[in-house]
Amino acid sequence: MSAVTAGRSSRGVVDLVFRARELSIVAALAVLVAVTAGVNGNFLSGQGMKDIFLNASILVLLAVGQSVVVITRNIDLSAGSVVGLVAFTTGDFLAADHGRGVVFAVVLGVAIGALCGLVNGLLVSFGRVPALVVTLGTLYVIQGLDHLIAHGRQINAVDLPPALLALGNGTVLGVPYLPVIAVVVMLAVGYYLRSYASGRDFYAIGSSPEAAGLAGIPVRRRVMGAYLFSGALAGLAGVLWLSRFGTVVADAANGWELQVVSAVVVGGVAITGGVGTVYGAALGALLLTTITSALVVLKVNPFWQQAITGALLLLAISVDRLLALRVARVLRRRNARHGS
């Protein structure tokens, strides 16, 4: 009996601490928006709000995919390249014939992304090559492939079917499509990771791959699944990129992998795996894009923007470290008190 309550309450403490982590991002976001809106009311106008959520949507999707991988103590640096490849190839595909449906383009984009994820997953889980090296390699390979296909060409808005462009800035009941898609994906993944046994496996693997293996968790299959999922989401993000920006060249989303990793880490997903939620990662993405917008509205010199993002990253990592130490101490004390 006492062991059960001890287990429950210590889980409660851990939960509280990590919910506090997400709440701190919400608080930071609230302060940021309040200050910016205080200086310039337009920031929170209907159009302003729409812009904030539209700007963040693609990064949120990528951050959700990335956090699943990072939770398993891996990383996917190829995400930005996949977005670029998918944006260009689906654009090229749709430009050839306007009759081709948007739904089909989405399916195609997700499939291309999943294929890239499959390659990453195979190399990492079955090839046992460190994820950093594998995905750095595929980053360049996919980018090279994209450049080869594009060969200096460009997809123009006029080449795309109106339905796809409408997906990028159209609304349903006044809410733009992109944020709706991002939120639905985030909630579904968040629920899966939290409530399904197989979802919990990802955390177990990230906490200790060896222990997870010994406990009978199919480590390779789960890691494989994480990459497949991250690739598929990057594919989806690629189609949305196309629909949002309309004009696409081969280096679309070039360098975004680092923004995505930043968003995930700022959002409280530990880069060492096992800790964090997709909600946090999504909030991190929202915070980073909103900072950029806010600094523009506040007329802050653009040279500061990157410095601020960097400082925020360092802050997030420091906070995580402090929290981890704190939690470990609390758990140790509880275990000692309840004895065994």
Partner 1 sequence: MFIFPRRLASTAALVGLVSLGLTACGGTTKDSAQQGADPKASAAAPASADPNAPIKEGLKIAFLPKQINNPYETIVDKAGIEAAKEYKGEAKEVGPSDASASSQVSYINTLIQQRQDAILIAANDANAVCGPLKQAMSKGIKIVAYDSDAAKDCRNLFINQADSEEIGRSQVKMLADMIDSKGEIAILSATANATNQNAWIDFMKDELTKPEYKDMKLVKVAYGDDDDQKSFQETQGLLQAYPDLKGIISPTTVGISAAARYISGSKYKGKITLTGLGTPNQMREFVKDGTVQQFALWNPKDLGYLASYSAAALASGQITGAEGEKFTAGKLGEYTIGKDGEVILGAPFVFKADNIDEFDF
Instruction: Using CB under 8 A, list all residues that contact partner 1.
Output: 40, 42-43, 45-48, 51, 55, 58, 123, 127-129, 133-134, 137, 140-145, 147-148, 150-154, 156-158, 165, 168-170, 241, 244-247, 249-252, 289, 292-293, 296-297, 299, 302-303
CB of 88 to partner 1, least distance (A): 10
Buried b (16+ CB within 10 A) or exposed e, 250-284: bebbeebbebbbbbbbbbbbbeebbbbbbbbbbbb
Nearer to partner 1, 52 or 189 (CB): 52
CB of 299 to partner 1, least distance (A): 6
CB of 83 to partner 1, least distance (A): 11
Nearer to partner 1, 259 or 277 (CB): 259
Distances (CA, A) of 99 to 93, 156, 164, 314: 11, 17, 11, 49
CB of 51 to partner 1, least distance (A): 5
Interatomic CA distance for residues 331 and 11, integer angstroms: 9
CB of 110 to partner 1, least distance (A): 21
Interatomic CA distance for residues 74 and 154, integer angstroms: 34
- Is 238:85 a contact under the CB 8 Å cutoff? yes
Nearer to partner 1, 119 or 228 (CB): 119
Nearer to partner 1, 122 or 319 (CB): 122
Q: In this structure, what token pair is assigned to residue 92?
A: 């090229």
CB of 250 to partner 1, least distance (A): 4
Interatomic CA distance for residues 176 and 205, integer angstroms: 37
| Max CA separation in the chain (angstroms) | 70
Nearer to partner 1, 5 or 156 (CB): 156
Nearer to partner 1, 203 or 241 (CB): 241
Element (H, E) at 172: strand 171-172
Nearer to partner 1, 202 or 256 (CB): 256
Nearest Cα to Cα of residue 57 among 203, 170, 208:
170
Nearer to partner 1, 4 or 158 (CB): 158
- Phi-psi domain of 176 (left: phi exceeds 0; alpha: psi -120 through 50; beta: other): beta
Q: In this structure, what token pair is assigned to residue 75?
A: 């990383």
CB of 153 to partner 1, least distance (A): 6
DSSP H helices in the chain: 2-39, 46-71, 79-96, 102-121, 131-150, 162-169, 177-195, 197-207, 209-214, 219-245, 256-266, 278-297, 303-338
CB of 149 to partner 1, least distance (A): 10
